[in-house]
Chain A
């Protein structure tokens, strides 16, 4: 068992530790048990998400996207040991060009029918390049609905936290998306309107 050097970050569902993996700086992501969740439900969710996340990160890597290398996983402790990526979270330093990069990421994923599931700027690390670090809610799907959900979530986060530059950021995000694959985008955007009209008290 490896030693944890330091607790770096407490996320919503997991603790992120700085650790060593064969003398290499590494990150250990442990999904901690939730005391509020029914035990069986909790064990199941944590185990399933650990397996699926490491699989998704690896699949994204195979598509040529920058994601951390997975070194080791332990489904029963809900732990993933992965490459340490230095840099800042995109949420703190968001610019239009980062949004463009994120758009390219998402478009590549979607082209290969991978859905991110939790598309927020805080799931990207920025140094000289952009790296996607968290795919805990990602899954495989060919449905436009699911692709639209991804983009809608990103839009929602931008409007609620970056309302001043929302229009510009979202524009760049879509440009990035188009840059990789423009074919499906119009239909997906149409679908977003569809989803939004299904919300409570939406005026269609």
Chain B
């Protein structure tokens, strides 16, 4: 079975062809192509939905063409076209959906909507060989701790305001960096003299909030008493400690023996180091998603499209196809998982 996955929730427009055959004993995705093109915002500003959508529509055809050419697959060989239907930025989602609908109707291929967050998790699970994992999803759009329970990924803790990615991006923007700022903040933090400045440490049960850190950090910058490097270092230390503590609580409460970490921010080495230490204490296996698939990509959409179509024959008519900017993962039934 061949599936084309189209990802366009935020800054990334990506297409990927993934092959699945029943004989695959390890049930891992056979990735035939993985082409991405990322919208780069100007320095000091974030992703403007309209600008990102404009970028996507201008690169879409080229990305699509490349992904089919490099996979050596023709449109008519495809069985399924899957697209990310949400959650994400409306204008961006619509670009992906329009392309998916066009291919589906012109070549008469089954159309499958995929939840973007579910895509991150399902691809991460199969790449790391996870069986019964606690999942930490950290990106610009999500900061959630989840477990699988009775047909759905259930949220046991999440951010109550901004996400970890947003904290880093918004602070980075304040310093005049270009979004996404995570890697630049990590670089600045590594250069710092490790002079820790106290920032609000807020954890509410299993839920967390980051907006206090953001306001306090901006205020500290304006006093001019601290270097940008030290503030970056303190933000990372505080925010990551909060996340790690929430994960530790969840590990202890659910007694899971695996932790899967997915999403763009999982590429941060400092966060990985801290989560790894917490896992060790709870004798849990630390399974970070391979860095090349941590951020948004088309493979996650194609792979989840395959799983969804195989087990449920769940496809939709074009007239019923949709995008949903606020499609929460805990409302999606996952019928292929026991």
Interface residues of A (CB under 8 A from B): 10-13, 34-38, 40-42, 44-45, 91, 117-120, 122, 137, 149, 153, 156-157, 159-161, 163-164, 195, 198-203
Q: Which of B143, B160, B206, B327 contacts A195 (CB 8 A)?
A: B160
A119's contact among B163, B196, B205, by CB below 8 Å, is which?
B205
CA distance A201 to B326 in the complex (A): 4
CB pair B205 A160 closer than 8 Å: no
**Cβ-defined contact, A117 with B156, below 8 A:** no
Q: Would A13 and B245 be within 8 Å (CB), given that A35-B277, A40-B196, A198-B161 are in contact?
A: yes
Asked if B237 contacts A38 (CB within 8 A), the reply is: yes
- Let me know if B253 and A120 touch, CB within 8 A: yes
Q: Is B94 part of the binding interface, using a Cβ–Cβ cutoff of 8 Å?
A: no
Q: Which of A12, A38, A91 contacts B249 (CB 8 A)?
A: A12
Q: Could you tell me which B residues sit within 8 Å of A by CB distance?
A: 86-87, 141-144, 147, 149-150, 154-161, 163, 196, 198, 201, 203-207, 237-238, 240-241, 244-245, 248-249, 251-254, 273-275, 277-278, 281-282, 325-328
CB <8 Å contact, B251 and A153: no
Bound Cα distance A198, B206 (Å): 16
CB of B251 within 8 A of CB of A36, answer: no
Residues of B within 8 A of A157 (CB): 156, 206, 253
Number of A-B pairs, beta carbon distance below 8 Å:
113
Q: Report yes or no: B326 in contact with A153, Cβ–Cβ below 8 A.
A: no
16 contacts between A and B (CB under 8 A): A11-B252, A12-B245, A13-B248, A36-B274, A37-B241, A37-B244, A37-B274, A38-B196, A41-B237, A41-B238, A118-B205, A119-B205, A120-B253, A161-B254, A200-B326, A201-B327
A120–B268 alpha-carbon span in the complex (Å) = 31
Given A160-B149, A201-B326, A12 and B241 touching (CB < 8 A)? no
Q: Please state if B205 and A137 are interface contacts (CB–CB under 8 Å).
A: yes
Per the bound structure, the CA–CA distance linking A200 and B157 in Å amounts to 12
In contact, A202 and B326 (Cβ under 8 angstroms): yes
Contacts of B142 in A (CB 8 A): 200
Choose from B87, B206, B274, B281 the contact partner of A156 (Cβ within 8 Å): B206
| Contact between A160 and B154, CB atoms less than 8 A apart | yes
A122-B253, A200-B163, A201-B87 known; A36+B149 contact, CB < 8 A:
no
Q: Which of B159, B252, B253 has most chain A Cβ within 10 Å?
A: B253
Chain B residues near A137 (CB-CB < 8 A): 203-205
B149, A163: Cβ atoms closer than 8 Å: yes
Contact (Cβ within 8 A) B150 A163: yes
A37 to B141, CA, bound (A): 25
* CB pair A153 B248 closer than 8 Å: no
Report A166 CB to chain B, min CB distance, Å. 10
Q: Shortest CB–CB separation between residue B35 and chain A, in angstroms?
A: 27
